[in-house]
Amino acid sequence: MLSQDLQTAINAQIKNEYYSSYLYLSMAAYCESINFAGFAGWLRRQSEEELTHAMRFFDYMLDRDGRVVLDTIGQPPSEFGSLLEMFSQVLEHEKEVSGMINRLYELAQSENDHATAVELQWFIQEQVEEEKSASDMVENIKLAGDNSAALLMLDRQLAGESTNEQAAE
Ligand code: FEO
């Protein structure tokens, strides 16, 4: 059985994952509003992935006879400035999430809860990927700079990747 402290912390992380999903969905809507459908598609996929993270914590709690208590999800911003500013926020957000996961891992270790520590190792690895893909986006947008043709090409490329992924499913 999970300790009360771990249950409280995991419940908070379920909410954080839902907030991440909400944040990226809001960013996707913003991208659509400025006609970058490819960037919007990337953010939508990211938003959906956050839901799978939330549900992985949800299921883990139930597997360990924990009590899931859902919290209020905060309202995300709706304006994000330039593409570079927005994707820099994605990267910063992912770094914050990595910090949250690391603190959860430290709590599990301090309680000698090995099963939770092992479960959290999956998330620690996942955060490496999450930070890398956000960082790649920031770097690509930086390369495009103020060149709107280059940004549009990047947008179309992302839209193509989305179509290819759907075709492969
Ligand atoms: Fe659930 Fe993007 O970390």
| DSSP states of 92-125 | HHHHHHHHHHHHHHHHHHHTT-HHHHHHHHHHHH
Using one digit for the tens of pLDDT, what is the confidence trace for 140-156? 999 999 899 999 999 99
Q: Please tell me if the CB atom of residue 57 comes closer than 6 angstroms to any atom of ligand 1.
A: no
Instruction: Give pLDDT, residue 168.
Output: 74
What's the CATH number where 57 sits? Answer: 1.20.1260.10
With H, G, I as helix, E, B as strand and everything else as coil, classify residue 142: helix
Instruction: Give pLDDT, residue 164.
Output: 74
Locate the ligand 1 atom nearest the alpha carbon of residue 126 and give its number. Answer: 3
Instruction: Give pLDDT, residue 165.
Output: 74
Our count of domains for the chain comes to: 1
- Domain range for 148: 4-168
Write the burial class of residue 12 (CB in 10 Å: 0-12 exposed, 13-18 middle, 19+ buried): middle
Specify the residue with its C-alpha closest to ligand 1, atom 1.
50
Q: Please tell me if the CB atom of residue 119 comes closer than 6 angstroms to any atom of ligand 1.
A: no
The pTM of this model reads 0.94
| Token code pair at residue 40 | 């919007």
Instruction: Give pLDDT, residue 102.
Output: 98
Instruction: Give pLDDT, residue 161.
Output: 79
Q: Residue 169 to residues 40, 53, 163: CA-CA distances in angstroms?
A: 20, 20, 10
Are the CB atoms for 57 and 97 separated by under 8 Å? Answer: no
Locate the ligand 1 atom nearest the alpha carbon of residue 97 and give its number. Answer: 3
Q: Please tell me if the CB atom of residue 50 comes closer than 6 angstroms to any atom of ligand 1.
A: yes
Q: Using 70 as the pLDDT threshold, list the residues of the chain that sit under it.
A: none
